[in-house]
Amino acid sequence: MPLSDYVAVRDRIVNGVSRIDTRVLAGRYRLLNPLSEGGSGTVWLAADETLGRDVAVKEIRLPPDLDPVRRQETYAAALREANLAARLKHPSIVTVHDVIIEQERPWLVMERLSGASLEQTVRNRRPLPVHQAARVGVGILSALAATHAAGMVHRDVQPGNVFLTRTGRAVLTDFGLAVVDGEVTSGRTGHLVDAPNYAAPERLRGERGTPASDLWSLGATLYFAVEGLPPHPAATPIAAISRVLTEPARQPERAGALGPLLMLMLDPLPEARPSFETVARALEELAAGRTATTPPPASTPAPAPAPVPAAAPHRPQPAPALRPLLQPRGAALWAAVEVAVVAVVIGATMGVVHLSADRTVVEKPAALSEKPGAFATPVDLCKLLPVASVQRLLPALNDEGKPTSNGGCRWTVSGLGLEVRPSGLNKQWGKSPRQAHELFVNERNNAIPSGQLAWSWSDIQAGARSARSTGPLPVAPVGNEAFGYDVYENRKTGRLEQSFVVLRVDNLVVDVGYTVVDGSEDGPSIRAGAHTAATWIANALNKQKAGG
């Protein structure tokens, strides 16, 4: 097509007057028509009048009231993306030709791709067949290998950043969140939840991210390609964060022979994910229409330690329990003192990071009193929950709670149990709210195990069980500050078995856990049980504190 045909291709009606859009950037790139629009800007088809070729120009849209500092940071990020992408030459990585600052905004000049993103393709048509999704995976995995070999981690692999050309090539785009080895990333934590459905659990916990994190994101992206939805479907970004952090991926229904590989790539533990070489071989087999051998897990779980006595199981991560509580048939509940405001607990030793749909805010805790707290002596935890309340969680319960040797209390029936226990080195209180907060922080940062463990509880017919736990996770607000953690069955099923909430009220710190041992309840119901019990305890403590 002659270059003259590119000029003035778009008529616009502005205030009733027709005009031709002939914007030219840097005296060279003539903007033609938009290719796609998003919250952060527009990608334009443009004509490079110097070289006589089509290009794509990414316009970074800045809010008009953006302060000068943030504006400069955005300019720097655009330059950084161009510099990173320019280092990489690979057929499955989009080529960036130029970057321009004009009209008070950044513009990235990129290779013109003809086709649509994976997200658009699946949403506008239907999920891809397995062999085609595997072919996409081969290309993007190769692109990621090249990225990692250059000392970078992409950190934003998602369906919207995978482009499918009309020639069948899969291209990885948008290096705006990529990091180079040794680079400081603290100034970009706000991007953490841009696409939480496709961010690895460790990324959502505030960690930097590694090649294994990109592998998880690729697994989630290919899952979307064949299933038409992410592996942790959720209605809101916050709900997605919670589900990625606290639940195993939804079992795929359409993935066929690709399904087992995807579930391995989506393992919540980075070290348990298969190697790039193993995934590449499996994807190549599937892309060729052959049945791939499912690779074994990256590592074999360590032999289970000796069974934990019939006391409380070890703890990991809870999620905001926001759906109605279901009546459990095979459950056990635990509890201990400590409460928070949280959205997600990551980050600084004495700080809490709140993740919202559009921003991340690091908040220092309010000044806490050094004076003696409201609870000067140990609290009788057995009296906090009457049997009538506990029966809402454990319907067959008839007896009162039984005290334990460490100051907690336990309710049990066949297959079910509830326990309230002190949290943190067999202490449930500090002399002051400040000391209790320090105990809470120590529990959150140091005392919650992550990895393989064994537990048992003979009173509820839970024999020695192999499980894995995760670290601190978000819970809905309860008490003064709180976090949660979960315990999952071994990786054969990945079923959630126990959910815990650690909370603080004034100078008390408590652990609350709810357990279903027969598989009769799903993860959200188990987490709802733990959160419900923690709320009861926090309310009872606050009433006692107020003299009620």
- Active centre residues (catalytic): 156
CA–CA distance, 105 with 42 (Å, rounded to integer): 12
Phi, psi for 109 (deg, rounded to 5): -100, 120
Strands (E), 236-382: 331-337, 352-355, 360-363
Q: Facing residues of 503 across strands?
A: 482, 510
CA–CA distance, 7 with 214 (Å, rounded to integer): 41
DSSP 457: E
CA–CA distance, 532 with 324 (Å, rounded to integer): 10
Among 186, 131, 139, smallest CA distance to 164 is for 139
What type of residue is 65?
D
CA 373 from chain centre, in angstroms, equals 36
CA–CA distance, 129 with 226 (Å, rounded to integer): 6
Q: Facing residues of 513 across strands?
A: 500
The token pair at 320 is 């905001």
Render 159-191 in DSSP notation, one character per residue.
Answer: GGGEEEETTS-EEE---TT-EETT---GGGGGG
Question: Computed from CA positions of residues 88, 93, 98, 99, in that sequence, does the dihedral angle turn out positive or negative?
Answer: negative
CA–CA distance, 545 with 536 (Å, rounded to integer): 14
Cβ atoms of 287 and 128 within 8 Å: the answer is no
Polymer length in residues for the chain: 548
Among 232, 222, 295, 293, smallest CA distance to 254 is for 222
Residue 151, Cβ neighbours under 10 Å: how many? 12
Q: If DSSP codes are grouped into helix, strand and coil, which group holds residue 508?
A: strand
CA–CA distance, 233 with 308 (Å, rounded to integer): 35
Pairing of strands 331-337, 416-422: parallel
The token pair at 144 is 């990621």
Residue 91, Cβ neighbours under 10 Å: how many? 12
What type of residue is 73?
E
Which residue blocks in 423-522 are alpha helix, DSSP H? 433-442
The token pair at 398 is 């008839």
Among 299, 293, 35, 315, smallest CA distance to 173 is for 35
